[in-house]
Amino acid sequence: MPYTGCALSQGFELDCKDAVGGLKEVFFVSLADMIAADITYDNTTDEIEALPTITVYRYELDKNLSNFTETLTYEEGGSIHFTQELVLQIKNQTAEKRIELFQKIGRNRVVAFVRANSAPQTPGRIIVLGLQNGLDITSGENVSGTTLGDMSGYNITFTGDEAEAAPYLEDYTTNPFDNFGTVTVSPAYAT
């Protein structure tokens, strides 16, 4: 939802100490498959409540290895924009992962749905990166490690610039996207 106005509207008290960092999963879709006209927002919460008919490709992530950062930048001309960076570490080198990550996603502009760890009382928040302009792979490594205990796999960084801050999806019930009938998750969650 486009931001309207800059009048202050509320303050915030100190929250409980139950917020945790880290990412659980990331879901990718090609920017070309996201049609802005088919995205609707809740007028009260500004969260996304409807998405177009898409398939999102799910990547499970090991704990403590991946993150995202959104940086607000002020320009002297009087405007702001948001730089979004997603850093992933995906273990195990395989031909399938190399082709998908470096050949397909690497040559594409993608939207990333990021499922973060969350407070214990919620199933997890999903934030949408690159919604309008997409994310590009800005660096990628296929690494073998040196010793038996080193990581073998892929280190990948995605970066994008957006006019608006990354929105959240409305909360799901059991599994991500179970409240969006137009979204297919691949691979699907076990039932």
pLDDT in tens, 10-36: 777 766 665 666 788 999 999 999 987
- Quick one: pLDDT band at residue 63, thresholds 50, 70, 90? confident
Residue 40 counted as domain residue: no
Per-residue pLDDT band at 37 (split at 50, 70, 90): confident
Would you say residue 28 lies in a domain?
A: yes
pLDDT digits (tens, 9 = 90+) for 71-126: 999 988 888 999 999 999 998 888 998 899 999 999 999 999 999 887 555 666 79
Whether residue 159 is contained in a domain is answered as yes
Number of domains making up the chain: 1
Instruction: Check: CB of residue 130 under 8 Å from CB of residue 27.
Output: no
Decide which of 161 and 93 is more confident.
161
Where in the sequence is the domain holding 102, given as residue range(s)?
23-34+52-168
Q: Can you tell me the distance from the alpha carbon of 169 to that of 41, in angstroms, rounded to the nearest whole number?
A: 9
Q: What pLDDT does 11 receive?
A: 77
Give the pLDDT score at 2.
Answer: 55
Bridge partner list, 156:
88, 140
Mean pLDDT of 159-173: 94
- Indicate whether 99 belongs to any domain: yes
State the burial class of residue 8 (Cβ atoms within 10 Å of its Cβ: 0-12, 13-18, 19+). exposed
Indicate the average pLDDT of the chain. Answer: 88
Residue 163 domain-assigned?
yes
* Closest by CA position to 39, among listed 146, 167, 176, 172: 167
Res 148: pLDDT: 85
Task: Establish if 29 belongs to a structural domain.
Answer: yes
In this predicted model, which residue has the larger pLDDT, 55 or 2?
55
Q: How far apart are CA 169 and CA 185, in angstroms?
A: 15
pTM exceeding the 0.85 threshold for the entire prediction? yes
Residue 77, pLDDT score: 83
Domain-embedded: residue 66: yes
Whether 114 is covered by a domain: the verdict is yes
